[in-house]
Amino acid sequence: MDQSSYASAVTPFPAHALASDSADGKPAVGPCVSETDHTKECICHMEVCVNWYPCGLKYCKGKPQGGLSYRCGIKTCHRCYRYHFYVRRRDACPSYT
């Protein structure tokens, strides 16, 4: 996909969404999970996980006589990423629709 095709749809967080509105340092716009009004703006999150991917070689110990290790397979890993983004209305957040 060409970057110019979706670049116009992506906008930075509005300044007021990240600014602190009180002495406690909390942002002026709260997370969607704590917002009960579906028409209010909030910060949405989406978690994306890759549950299995090869990330190295697996080594097994040899028989007691030799005691050497040998390659016996592929080590697997998993990783999750959490993306935060601003929405103008809570009902625009995919997690809560």
Determine the residue type at 51.
N
Could you tell me the sign of the dihedral formed by the alpha carbons of 29, 31, 32, 33, in that order? negative
Give Cα separations from 91 to 1, 43, 44, 75 (angstroms): 27, 12, 10, 41
Nearest to 89 by CA among 32, 26, 11, 34: 32
Determine the residue type at 25.
G
pTM over 0.85: no
pLDDT in tens, 28-46: 788 888 888 888 888 898 9
Nearest to 86 by CA among 7, 16, 23, 6: 16
Q: Does 17 or 96 have the greater pLDDT score? A: 17
DSSP E strands: which ranges in 2-96? Answer: 42-61, 69-87
pLDDT in tens, 77-94: 999 999 888 888 888 888
